[in-house]
Amino acid sequence: MSAGAEFSDQPMAPPAAGDAGANFLSGLIESPLDTKGAQRLSEGAQRFKTLAQNGDFAINQAGLDKYTKVCDEFIDGYRNIEYEIQLLAKQAKMGSSEYAKQVADFNVKVANGDEQSLIPNLEMLINGFKQVKEALAIARKNYRETEEAHSQTFAKLHGNE
């Protein structure tokens, strides 16, 4: 998806306060596969988890299922190609000329040469999605606890009538 892509003539409204899921996802519209995008997802996932840990985010089962599915699809998709991605970090035999060696070295650097390379960014994304799943589990627990507290309050009120 390109930056600034619109599917309506109406501007996108910012996520409502207290809408933790939308707030988390709103920063991911642009490319998450570059270093800044991977960092944005990682930082957003940590904030998301902190919200849940502080009891500021709860989610019902249907929401949990949908968000978990997105996380699992990314994580599973990465795991399915992990071996091939690791092959990119190994220098390919491209010939004996100096140019062939330079190209092979360049390919390795793109794959895993520094923290801005493909593999570290994918790993940062995987860790971010894992944090999101942890946040979702905490948020689901928050929802159940809130639901239980409301049920108990309602039962007490109903019992006093």
| Structure tokens, 119 | 């593999």
Q: Which H, E and C letters describe 59-71, residue by residue?
A: CCHHHHHHHHHHH
Instruction: Go through the chain and tell me how many residues it has.
Output: 161
* pLDDT on residue 86: 87
Express each pLDDT in 63-94 by its tens digit: 999 999 999 999 999 888 888 888 888 988 88
Average pLDDT over residues 142-153: 85
Token output for 51 = 């919200």
Q: Tens digits of per-residue pLDDT, 5-53?
A: 332 344 444 445 455 555 555 555 455 567 888 899 999 999 999 999 9
Distance (Å) of CA 106 to CA 22, 42, 55, 102: 38, 27, 47, 6
Contacts 24+ apart (CB under 8 A), 78-85: 78/122, 78/125, 78/126, 85/111, 85/118, 85/119, 85/122
Distance CA 139, CA 134 (A): 9
* pLDDT value of position 12: 40
Average pLDDT for 106-135: 91
* Structure confidence at residue 116 (pLDDT): 86
**H-only helix segments in 31-117:** 35-53, 61-88, 98-112
**Structural domains of the chain in order of their starting residue, each with its CATH number:** 58-159 (1.10.287)
The pLDDT assigned to 31 comes to: 57
* CA 150/CA 144 separation, integer angstroms: 10
pLDDT at 133: 96
